[in-house]
Chains A and B, each alone.
Chain A
Amino acid sequence: MREVVMECRNLWKIYGDIIAVKDVSLQIREGEIKIIFGPSGSGKTTLLRCLGLLTKPTKGEIFLRGECLTRPGIKLNKYRARIGFVFQHIWLFHHLTALQNVELGLRRVLKLPKDEARRRAMQALREVRMERWANHYPAQLSGGQQQRVGIARALAMDPEIILLDEPTSALDPELTGEVIDTLRDLAKEGRTMLIASHEMGFAREVADEMIFLDEGTIIERGPPEHFFTNPRTERARRFMARLIKQTMRER
């Protein structure tokens, strides 16, 4: 069995009287791809942000290669650098070109020399097929291109795991394809990824496991085939039916 890269145990996140994440435990092993899906407001974003150390969980533990990241006094930035994060709304740095967006972490966090940072940033842009656009600013790129730069920005840091929060859901339908293609490439390379996504075709193709989240908690989990053929819970069944219908309509 391959090594566990990231794990959370009994994770809770409570805002006031709203429970956003409720007792979630999961493991992602080296090279695994897990897809989280569920209705909006089901806690996907909050869960990913907790795992990305961008939101402090209320209770529970998070581990990266066996190291506990939720113990007090931990240097968060050191670990954030080892976890890639791709945002739903992309959030590129507006004042930097695509290349500079990718270079920033390499220069300032990994402290690479200029040439080395440039080389690695270009390499990452090549991987998402954006090297031609290296010197364009975010506002000069389409949504799909921006998201590919967002992926390159995370990728360049050579993270141990990449967390992707609905990377295509803020894009126009005709632009999702190019981002999905990029993710498919990463999957082929054997990257470890935890992806919140409703792209069912993609999920079916690459996911080792799908996790159905509702009201902040895991309702059902299993390999894609399980969800496509025979979901156990009524909630998952209904949600799958709705997603499949929606996908058909988009085509």
Chain B
Amino acid sequence: MEFILEYLPLIIEGFIVTVEVTFFGVVMGLILGTLLAIGDLYGGKIISTLIKIYVEFFRGSSIVVQLFIFYYTIPSMLNTTIDSFIVGLIVFGLNSAAYQKGYIKGAMEAVYEDQMTAALSLGLTKAQAIMYVILPQALRIVIPAWSNEFTSLAKSTAALLVIGERELASAGKTIAAQTWRVLETYTFIAIIYLAWISIVTKILDIIYEKVKIPGIEITT
């Protein structure tokens, strides 16, 4: 396995890209997904229809196609080029937002209407009620789904190799092509994925336990 050491810089470089795109995607997805969920729930018919179209596009088409569209189609329409790393950030963020919107909306609906009514009765505005009452409860509920979203996103970043971005899987591909040691190379790459994804999901589990509302048992 010593040959791997030689390629370690390449692997680390790829790993960093994978981690960056994953975290950026999940966080942007959370922020944008929350806004989309609020828009869908409280924004009225037109906004909610636009959001549905957006969500359908990103959930209903392949991530590879989405990468092509943002890497080739859109820049060529605008007569420009765009860095593959930036495309990765944008596409994974937008894609994750489409999924997370669904989770967050579901969680907000699960925080019953009565919490909203109680907040309004105190004189809070609807926006304040969402901010201080609905979201803090909904985001707690959404953490397990968020953990799934993270694992799925972390693995899909491998799709970035189709637009030539050097992330973890493409590092593996390069090494395998140069050394012909396919078995060891991909095993090693797989272990890296497994390790970092396990660690992050474990951390999310701990956070979930930590922020649980005392006295309430949520059974899933």
- Give me the 10 closest cross-chain CB pairs, A-B, nearest first: A81-B123, A139-B215, A105-B122, A91-B118, A85-B121, A109-B123, A140-B215, A80-B123, A137-B214, A91-B114
Q: Mark A81-125, 1 if CB is under 8 A from B, else 0.
A: 111010101011111000000001100110000000000000000
Given contacts A94-B137, A140-B214, A140-B215, contact A54 B132 (CB under 8 A): no
Nearest B residue to A86, CB-CB: B121
Name the residue of chain A whose CB is nearest to the CB of B135.
Answer: A95
A211 CB-CB contact with B under 8 Å: no
What total of chain B residues lie within 8 Å of the partner, measured CB to CB? 21
Q: Which of A51-98 contact B (CB under 8 A)?
A: 52, 54, 76-83, 85, 87, 89, 91-95
Q: Please indicate the chain A residues that have their CB under 8 angstroms from the CB of B124 in the complex.
A: 77, 104-105, 108-109
A68 CB to nearest chain B CB (Å):
18
In the complex formed, the residue of B with least CB distance to A85 is: B121
A77 touches B120 (CB 8 A): yes
Q: Give the CA-CA distance A79 to B136 in the complex, in Å.
A: 26
Prevailing SS type, chain B contact patch: helix
Interface flags, B87-121, vs A, CB<8A=1, else 0: 00000000000000000000000000011011111
Most buried by B among A79, A82, A95: A95
Enumerate A138-175 residues with CB–CB distance to B below 8 Å. Answer: 138-140, 153-154, 157
Interface: B216 (CB within 8 A): yes
Chain B positions near chain A (C-beta within 8 angstroms) = 114-115, 117-125, 128, 132-133, 136-137, 140, 213-216
Most buried by B among A54, A77, A82: A77
Instruction: Pick from B119, B132, B213: contact of A94, CB below 8 A.
Output: B213
Chain B residues whose C-beta falls within 8 Å of the C-beta of A108 in the assembled complex: 124, 128, 132
A94 and B217 alpha carbons, distance in the complex (Å): 12
Distance A94 CA – B114 CA, assembled complex (angstroms): 11
Q: How far is the CA of A93 from the CA of B119 in the complex (A)?
A: 8
Could you list 8 A-B pairs, sorted by A, with CB under 8 Å?
A80-B123, A81-B122, A93-B118, A93-B119, A105-B124, A108-B128, A137-B215, A139-B213
